[in-house]
Amino acid sequence: MSTERQWDIVSGVGITALAVASARAVESSRPDALARDPYAGRFVEAARPPYPLPASAAEAEGLEGAEGWPAFATYAGVRTRVFDEHFERAAEAGVTQAVVMASGLDTRAFRLRWPADAVCYEIDQPLVLGFKLDVLRGHGAAPTVPVHRPVGVDLRHDWAGALEDAGFDRSRPTAWLAEGLLPYLPPEAEEALFAEIHRLSAPGSLLAVEYYPDMRGALDGVSGRSREWAAQLETLIHTDERPTPGERLAGLSWRTRDEPMVDVARRYGRPLEGPSHVAGSAVFAFAERVS
Ligand SMILES: C[S@@+](CC[C@H](N)C(=O)[O-])C[C@H]1O[C@@H](n2cnc3c(N)ncnc32)[C@H](O)[C@@H]1O
């Protein structure tokens, strides 16, 4: 994310949301899928990406340059499931206000079971959210969450103001999610993001986020046709050193816990395939505001 202009689903960092949807579609089509997103493949079909992206495991097999896709799909499955469980835990704890940051083509508002008083806000660029809602409407999908509020705003700007204008209630505990976002934010934007989340979080709020301890050189090993894709990603990610989410929240009355991606994958019985896949270094961080 290196410019201030808006992006859509096939440009800038928007296309990363489509790539994740593609990985979720591949995973969803497996008989032993860790998570099933019935809409993921529909987004891939509806978009016109500059690179071919698979919408199923069968398509991934036949696609030249898609060698990394099985590992990426496993990663998407693990990540989707672990964060689905975050919202399930939140609902069990009575936390029924949810905010999905940089939601991209996330369809949790359309496929999870939500409590009767739940509200789900989704933040991303207006064109990304517009594409998603158009495709979902075109397939007759209706939100499964009782109140669904998409908020089209840039996360480097006053997203908190936009969220509150949309009805967000800071006196109510919130279940936050930042999935597939931090590498695309410069360190100062990430710092501001955590400060705002803290400011808006009532005690009892829960946060789930995925981070990469060190992204430097993470894509060096990618070769062949995937190199073109990796080269674009390299222009979008920020590799500067920065505190971990746990370090950022330390001293701010949050209790935090980290779970490395590889451990979660093993726990689900789906160890990450492929020796040097970048996703293998990801860490899932969970936090609860205790007072
Ligand atoms: C890798 S995708 C992840 C999407 C979704 N969370 C998922 O895991 O499927 C990254 C998303 O971050 C969004 N994003 C990145 N920087 C942003 C910003 N400054 N403001 C709003 N959205 C942003 C992109 O539009 C994109 O949808």
What's the whole-number mean pLDDT along residues 17-43? 96
The response to whether residue 282 sits with its C-beta less than 6 Å from ligand 1 reads no
Tell me if 77 sits within 8 A of 35, measured CB to CB.
Answer: yes
Instruction: Supply the pLDDT for residue 2.
Output: 39
Q: What is the pLDDT of residue 31?
A: 95
- Tell me the mean pLDDT in the region 203-216: 93
Better-predicted residue by pLDDT, 210 or 275: 210
Q: Is the CB of 279 under 6 A from ligand 1?
A: no
Ligand 1 atom with the shortest distance to the CA of 100: 6
Round the average pLDDT of the chain to a whole number and report it.
92
- Residue 286 to residue 259: CA distance in whole angstroms: 8
1 lines ligand 1 (CB under 6 A): yes
C-alpha span between 270 and 265 (Å, rounded): 5
The tens digit of pLDDT for each residue in 138-192 reads 999 999 999 999 999 999 899 999 999 999 999 999 999 999 999 999 999 999 9
Q: Which range (81-95, 97-111, 236-250) has the least confidence?
A: 236-250
Beta bridge partners of 112: none
C-beta atoms surrounding 172 within 10 Å:
15
194 or 235, higher pLDDT? 194
Instruction: Return all residues near 104 (Cβ < 8 A) that are at least 6 apart.
Output: 14, 16, 17, 20, 21, 124, 128, 132, 180
Average pLDDT over residues 15-24: 94
Distance of CA 219 to the CA centre of its chain: 19
The whole-angstrom separation of Cα 150 and Cα 136 is 13
Rounded Cα distance, 68 and 274, in Å: 8
Q: State the average pLDDT over residues 231-252.
A: 90
Q: What is the SS3 assignment for 61?
A: helix
| Token output for 167 | 């009805």
CA 228 to CA 168: how far, in whole Å? 40
Kindly state if the Cβ of 193 falls inside 6 Å of ligand 1. no
Give backbone dihedrals phi and psi of 202, rounded to 5 degrees, phi first.
Answer: -75, 155
104 lines ligand 1 (CB under 6 A): yes
Indicate if ligand 1 lies below 6 Å from the C-beta of 182: no
User: Distance (Å, rounded) from C-alpha 40 to C-alpha 29?
Assistant: 10
Residue 51 tokens read as 């690179």
Q: Considering only CA atoms, which of 129, 119, 121 is closest in space to residue 152?
A: 129
pLDDT at position 215 over 90: no
* Alpha carbon of residue 76 to chain centroid: 9
264-290 residue pLDDT tens: 999 999 988 665 567 888 999 999 999
Give the atom of ligand 1 at the shortest distance from the alpha carbon of 24.
9
User: Could you tell me if the CB of 174 is within 6 A of ligand 1?
Assistant: no
- Atom nearest to 17 CA in ligand 1: 2
Residue 232 alpha carbon to ligand 1 centre in Å:
15
Instruction: Characterize the bridge pairing of strands 254-260 and 283-289.
Output: antiparallel
Distance between CA atoms of residues 228 and 232, nearest Å: 7
Say yes or no: CB of residue 72 within 6 Å of ligand 1: no
Q: Letter for the amino acid at 118? A: A
SS3 content of the chain, % helix, strand, coil (to 5): 40, 15, 45
**Residue 230's pLDDT band (boundaries 50, 70, 90)?**
confident
Check pLDDT > 70 for residue 3.
Answer: no
Tokens 């981070």 label which residue? 211
Using alpha carbons, list the distances in angstroms from residue 141 to 144, 157, 255.
9, 30, 37
Q: Give the confidence band of 224 by pLDDT, cuts at 50, 70, 90.
A: low
Query: Which CATH number describes the domain made up of 67-289?
Result: 3.40.50.150
Cα 104 to ligand 1 centre (Å): 5
pLDDT of residue 1: 43
